[in-house]
Amino acid sequence: MATCWQAIHRMYALPLWVLSIVLLLLLGGCRHEQRLSVTKAGNGAGTVTSTPSGINCGTDCSESYKTDTVVTLTATPASGSTLAGWGEACTGTGTCTVTLEQSRSVTATFNLVPRTLGVTKLGTGRGTVTSSPPGIDCGTDCSEKYDDGTVVTLQAVAASGSTFAGWSGDPDCTAGAVTMTANKTCTATFNIQQFVLTVTKVGRGSGMVASTPSGINCGTDCSEKYNTGTVVTLTATPASGSTLAGWGEACTGTGTCTVTLDRDRSVTATFNAVPVIAFATLPERIETNLATFFVSGATQAGNQVTVNGTSLATDDQGNFVRLVPLALGANRL
């Protein structure tokens, strides 16, 4: 609204005698007006309005009122901000009421709303979470207040022997950058580091390999994850007609195999078929030095059989048969 001084400024076009009278009247009125000024402070945002109208601060932050006018100021924080309080002619955080017996100044402080970011840790392992900007060092300090809208980056570092499995909690957490528009909680999962033990079976024989602690039963389940530092004992059990020829890679020998899982490990178990030895004895009544006989037998599939220096192949079941000449007496197969 126009003040009396603004009205005086507009009177310059009147005739001199009229202007003189108006000036006398207006100057008397102007001596009875006081100015109310509003200043905004803080890192937040908001608007201050007045009753009676005149101030809408936003942009119009001062107004003149008649002396002794009672003006009520109302502060409205913007989203993400809060009224921290009034200063100068008012105090507190409610409405501000000013009686203008003289010109007055009022300060409204708007601050960004503090938002709390909390970090929790789960899993079988260990680790630390830190933040940028600083405030969280979890470890021990696992929560911090940040101004509304602050983008907080979380970094998870696994301890030795552990691994970081991932984030959960607020959807922001999975990206590792959390925007503080509300109170939020992020969960970091640390697990004990694990390594894979793999068993491979080779050779013409067959058998099983089992582990202590359990996990491998090879047969069919020939690999397993174990926590770092786990000592695994492998025991080989040959099938009937087979024998353990020995271990390879992470183990040697033919006894049990003991492996410490400080990294991924592989072990080979070689099973071979037990050789088949047979004897044929010719009847004494045969007087010739040589005779011809059908020779037959069975061994592991794929084995080679030698009869009196003659190599015989087995079928897919391990059976063999052949017509071979034999010398009189005992003949070794």
SS3 of 243-307: the string is EEEEEEECCCCCCCEEEECCCCEEEEEEEEECCCCCEEECCCCCCCCEEEEEEEEECCCCCEEEE
Report how far residue 297's alpha carbon sits from residue 46's, in angstroms, rounded to the nearest whole number: 100
Q: How many other CB atoms sit within 10 Å of the CB of residue 312?
A: 18
Same domain, 41 and 17: no
- pLDDT at site 14: 58
Residue 241's nearest CA partner among 289, 206, 282, 274 is: 274
Residue 54 shares a structural domain with residue 97:
yes
Q: What's the number of domains the chain is made of?
A: 5
**Residue 161 per-residue DSSP state:** T
- What's the confidence (pLDDT) of residue 2? 47
Of the residues 251, 273, 295, which one is the last residue of a structural domain?
Answer: 273
184, 203: one domain: no
Among 88, 112, 136, residue at a domain's last position: 112
Do 133 and 105 share a domain, yes or no?
no
Query: Are 314 and 305 in contact, with CB atoms under 8 Å apart?
Result: yes
Minimal CA–CA distance to 70: which of 90, 40, 100, 35?
100
What gap in Å lies between CA 144 and CA 58, rounded to an integer?
A: 32
Q: Are residues 166 and 204 in the same domain?
A: no
Which residue, of 192, 210, 235, is where some domain finishes? 192
Q: Is the overall model pTM greater than 0.85, yes or no?
A: no
pLDDT, residue 32, reads 82
What pLDDT was estimated at residue 324? Answer: 55
pLDDT digit of tens for each residue in the chain (333 aa)? 445 545 555 555 556 655 555 555 555 545 589 999 999 999 999 999 999 999 999 999 999 999 999 999 999 999 999 999 999 999 999 999 999 999 999 999 999 999 999 999 999 999 999 999 999 999 999 999 999 999 999 999 999 999 999 999 999 898 889 999 999 999 999 999 999 999 999 999 999 999 999 999 999 999 999 999 999 999 999 999 999 999 999 999 999 999 999 999 999 999 998 876 555 444 444 444 455 555 555 555 555 666 556 666 666 655 555 555 555 454 444
Q: Are residues 12 and 59 in the same domain?
A: no
Q: Is the same domain home to 262 and 308?
A: no
Q: Which domain, by its residues, includes 2?
A: 1-31
SS3 of residue 172 by DSSP: helix
Q: Same structural domain for residues 91 and 130?
A: no
Three-state DSSP state, 229: coil
Q: In this structure, are 26 and 79 located in the same domain? A: no
Give the pLDDT score at 158: 97
Q: Please check whether residues 285 and 269 belong to one and the same domain.
A: no
Claim to verify: residue 120 and residue 187 sit in the same structural domain: yes
pLDDT of residue 4: 54
Task: Assess whether 150 and 162 both reside in one domain.
Answer: yes
